Amino acid sequence: MSQIQTSTVTLTRIFLLCINVLHVYTMDVKRQRERFKPDYKVYHNLTSASMTIEHFLEANRGFVRYVEPEKYLSKLGKKQHVLRVTNFENVNLKNSDRVKVLLSFGEHAREFLPVESLFQMLKKLLFSWQTSEDPDVDLNQLDIYIVAIANPDGRQHVETSNNYCWRGTSSGVDLNRNFDWEFGGKGSSKDPSDEEYRGIKPFSEPESQTYRDLTEQVHFDGFLSLHSGIKQIYIPFADSLSQRTGRAPENIKEMLKLAKELSKSTIYKYQYGQAAKLNDYSADGSIFDYMAGRRKVNNIYLRKKNFFKDLLQCSNNM
Ligand SMILES: *[C@@H]1O[C@H](CO)[C@@H](O)[C@H](O)[C@H]1NC(C)=O
Ligand SMILES: [Zn+2]
């Protein structure tokens, strides 16, 4: 990792297995109201974000496509924009030869930055792929699945209600507590008015079913969920049982190594570690615990160590 230039690195470039970046887990889970509005000259709104995604698809048909255009909708029927970025034009290559990663953006309504960082990433990655002899990221080797706006209803709610502290879906479910791993533990709430409300059962929400369905169809080598709010890089597990017992995923050593590399490569210093150790609170039913614990998404390091470096090198400074 010493080859990575700190000044050219951004989190959006980084694909780590089961790492949850910059997560906002707040200690105080009572709903709050934010008094300040985001500057929409800087941030997209839901409509313009969707248009930007459609534009990427139009302009890059050989490389960016919807996974299934009519599937993967929110409870209110809005697109989550599940994309796939790879070189579709290279028909000689078997799908299984490509390293498959799943990236997740926009799970929490109030976190605008991850979705913006996705746009930066797509822009740079595709520009480099189409113009450079030696592109930063090799789309013959990589098959990137992206959930671009995981929680469009929540985002809509934020914009129409002007409640910029809203975290959940349209029904107030915290998607990152709605997964089938230690669902229902004390690191979540059964109270619909709590911002860590987990829903009535695992995958009660169509928005989280998307991840279950995708991982049923594709065996991913890596998963990354992007959030905003704190300079920390989390690896699984985050649940309260793991916190009590010290349980860790099998490939914890490799994950810690990657997290360390990532932490050293960013402009600002990021703390890293297992979520359950880094924080004194826990999170039950989280998306990345599900990916690590149930889906065993853990191959990246074994399959292609350089992968990481390649991605880091086509980065920007967001
Ligand atoms: C969203 O942003 C676009 C482009 O800036 C603007 O034209 C539109 O009015 C905005 N929509 C809403 C609902 O705010
Ligand atoms: Zn979040």
DSSP 297: -
- Looking at residue 31, what is its pLDDT? 64
- 50 ligand 1 Cβ < 6 A: no
Instruction: Summarize pLDDT for 52-103 with one digit per residue, the tens.
Output: 999 999 999 999 999 998 899 999 999 999 999 999 998 777 767 788 999 9
- 47 ligand 1 Cβ < 6 A: yes
Please choose from 41, 42, 47 the residue to mutate so as to test ligand 1's pocket, defined by most ligand atoms within 8 A of CB: 47
> pTM for the complete prediction?
0.87
Domain range for 153 is: 2-314
- 245 ligand 1 Cβ < 6 A: no
Q: How many structural domains comprise the chain?
A: 1
- Looking at residue 300, what is its pLDDT? 60
Atom 14 of ligand 1, residue of closest alpha carbon: 45
Q: Which atom of ligand 1 is nearest to the CA of 47?
A: 1
The CA distance from 108 to 168, in Å, is: 6
184 with 199: CB under 8 angstroms? no
- Looking at residue 32, what is its pLDDT? 65
106: CATH: 3.40.630.10
Distances (CA, A) of 190 to 31, 172, 193: 15, 11, 9
- What is the whole-number distance in angstroms between the Cα of residue 114 and the centre of ligand 2? 9
- What is the whole-number distance in angstroms between the Cα of residue 41 and the centre of ligand 1? 10
What does the angle CA 299 – CA 102 – CA 8 come to, to the nearest 5 degrees?
90
- Looking at residue 298, what is its pLDDT? 75
Instruction: Summarize pLDDT for 247-260 with one digit per residue, the tens.
Output: 999 889 988 988 88
- Looking at residue 23, what is its pLDDT? 35
Atom 13 of ligand 1, residue of closest alpha carbon: 47
Low-confidence ranges of the chain (pLDDT < 70): 1-35, 95, 299-318
